[in-house]
Amino acid sequence: MVAARGKADHLHYIIFETNEHNLDNISRTKAYQNFYMAFPEIKWAFVASMVSRNAGWNMTDLWLSPLRKMLSNSQRKRLFMTYERANWLIFSDAYPQLLVYQLSLNLNKPLFHLFPELNVSRYMQQEWELFWEHHDKKRLLLALIINEQNVIQRPVINQDYFKYRVFWRPPYLLQDILLLNAIIIPTKSNRLYGAFVHDFTNIDKRIALGKKIASIMFHPRVYDPLLKFARSVEHTGSRWDYEKFLNIQTEKAPLLRMVYPVITHQDIIRKDWYRKGGIKHHWTKYNPENPDPHIKQSFYNRRKLMYVYYHIKDLFM
């Protein structure tokens, strides 16, 4: 009975803490980052915090004048819900894993047998057990990247609502073709790092992008200035968080909590993606990449084109 009561207490704590921090993009980002600061061996938590910052910036980008003019309110709402749903879903799967690891350290014994009751994949249970034994940080980082992209594949990417109302519609397709979206890795200087997002619906491409972002973030030239930024700059959901350090003229995006309410998500019964499809061998390969020194120029040149199009369209409306 004591063991059963302990198990119930652990599950209650994990579910409560996950729900508390899964309110919106701001709370998720902070939770990931705080976890990394406490447990820096879990590199994925830092990657997740930075990708989550970018999700927030993409959300508030939808309030910039060109997108408010070029997209209808319903189109902007659907794009927001795409970012929000993926952000929420990944957190609801990943944060319980982090908390189980924390509890395991506190009790000095692995508790990964709790994963099935938290709807976590069998794949991740195996990977955490291996990490507990061998402490292979890179392997766990890759496993978590692979897992998160599989977690959102069916409920978001392949879900009919998002497929037909977002991914197959002109606003998304145009953004994808013109490479208007990127994962930006900021610093408290005039320098940015990152990578462009292309063919987001392709799981192979998303996993490759996740590995690339992780490689850039932990590059010796990038890590220290990025960590300094993360520790000292509060995430607000606005690109102004990092644009205030850049020598550019740009429209200031609003604070996320000023324009978006907390969204109540309907959870679903999740089938274990690993039991259905397994993993591809090339997903587990890790090839370190050098940071692109021209990402800032490329990204903001594309955004200038968006504003040019907006002003030209405005003249003829």
Cβ atoms within 10 A of the Cβ of 272, count?
A: 17
What are the structural domain ranges in the chain? 2-315
Q: What is the DSSP letter of 163?
A: I
Q: Which residues pair with 183 in a beta bridge?
A: 195
Q: Please tell me the distance from the alpha carbon of residue 160 to that of residue 190, in angstroms, as a whole number.
A: 41
pLDDT 10s per residue in the chain (317 long)? Answer: 334 458 899 999 999 999 999 999 999 999 999 999 999 999 999 999 999 999 999 999 999 998 888 888 999 999 999 999 999 999 999 999 999 999 999 999 999 999 999 999 999 999 999 999 999 999 999 999 999 999 999 989 988 888 888 887 877 776 665 556 899 999 999 999 999 998 899 999 999 999 999 999 999 999 999 999 999 999 999 999 999 999 899 999 999 999 999 999 987 767 899 998 899 999 999 888 889 888 999 999 888 888 876 666 665 55
Confidence (pTM): 0.94
Give the C-alpha distances (Å, rounded to integers) separating 23 from 182, 257, 262, 270: 24, 11, 6, 20
Q: Please tell me the distance from the alpha carbon of residue 34 to that of residue 196, in angstroms, as a whole number.
A: 26
